[in-house]
Chains A and B, each alone.
Chain A
């Protein structure tokens, strides 16, 4: 039952251009940075991982507001709430599908964009690894914001404002793990494990909170 929802949402997400929007925005953010900062390769490769993470965070937020709103507009949301699957599980399936359709493309685009910022292969690998385990947390936190704002006609900005503070720890540990992989004395594993812990924590809390918000908004 949940598998059917996951597969359909992945298909709709890819066909609906969610991946394209996120990746193009990511590209726009990263590609303009070298023009703004200038051709200082050392500086670029030093701040590169942080900029990639910031870009990925903002791109992930960009597509979050439609997570439940499209379903609400056509009446699907009522039926999902009524369905035989527990609502948090339904939300988790939707989050997973949303991440596959618009979070995973960011992870896959990161190495190409890393070249713009003169990142070393190690740094590119570290950014990809941290984005891979960190972006699901952003989607899961964002699901709560999207559920709270589902009834609002222009909830996109509100979602970003609600979600951004909660996503800051993910950003901090994602970037510090990346720097840990590049700069010798800094540790890689501890921040990386905390990043994984954050994702797991929000994988439990996010769907439950989002489900409660969706139930409360059922007018």
Chain B
């Protein structure tokens, strides 16, 4: 059973803390939906989780997972697929060759644990007949689906998804929800930042924009606030909703 624990996880971008510390524990089969307004730090949280950004404070640990090299994984990044805003595909190369490269680079493939081959992965996202086209020929939604096929060509326990369904039509969203459900029921984990329902059950983590000015004013003497004359509507709920129970948000 894979367990990912974040304790006092504080995320920062360019040295500036963007959200307050949060704690969560995810184990196999769990999904965490990160919600919040634009600019609140959802992508920063996901990139920190993937290990692309350093932690400002706190700890992030993994237990019970093996990295692709067979050693026990120490960080979530080692067992993660990261699907960011950019798809990570070369426009001049065909979709199938792009996926084949990622399969080889990530050490996946039918020989590996659970990774399906490229044709099967393309079928799973509904692009079975477009593998021979250069990636750049595809529409935005199709490109997104091709990038999703990358999640299937090599097995990783944790999927870190940054607004995965932004460009997708309704049918493709349903297809993707099925892929996510299959991944979760196989004991995988999903952490997704999203503005739209993903069609899966999961806990939510709300991130509000961290405003140092408001935080400083809150810490100041309440009497001084009246003199400033600015109406303040109390401390905003920028704390994270730490729902330990399986609360279904959507």
B-contacting residues of A (Cβ < 8 Å)?
Answer: 1, 3-5, 8, 12, 15-16, 73-76, 78-85, 218-219
Contacts and interface: CB of A to CB of B under 8 A. Distances in A.
A5 B101 CA distance: 7
Interface stretch (B28-36, B45-53, B166-174, B177-185): B45-53
Interface residues of B, number: 30
Contacts of A16: 92
A1 B104 contact: yes
Given A4-B104, A83-B105, A218 B85 contact: no
A192 B87 CA distance: 45
Contacts of B105: 1, 4-5, 80, 83, 85
B53 A79 contact: no
Interface in B185-244: none
B107 A74 contact: no
Contacts of A15: 92
Contacts of A85: 105
Contacts of A219: 13-14, 53
B67 A4 contact: no
Q: Which of B68, B89, B90, B92 has the most CB of A within 10 A?
A: B90
Given A82-B50, A82-B52, A84-B106, A75 B80 contact: no
B11 to A, nearest CB: 12
Contact of B90 (A3, A4, A76, A78): A76
Contacts of A81: 52
A100 to B, nearest CB: 17
A75 B88 contact: yes
Contact of A76 (B53, B69, B88): B88
Interface of B: 13-14, 47, 50-53, 67-69, 77-78, 80, 82, 84-93, 101-102, 104-107
Nearest to B92: A15
Nearest to A4: B104
B87 A78 contact: no
9 contacts: A1-B104, A4-B101, A74-B89, A76-B88, A76-B89, A79-B88, A80-B105, A83-B106, A219-B13
A218 B102 contact: no
B51 A12 contact: no
Contacts of B89: 74-76
B67 A79 contact: no
A78 B52 contact: yes
B50 A8 contact: no
B47 A8 contact: no
Contacts of A79: 82, 88, 102
B90 A12 contact: yes
10 closest residue pairs by CB, A with B: A75-B86, A4-B104, A84-B68, A75-B88, A218-B52, A79-B88, A76-B88, A8-B101, A4-B105, A1-B105
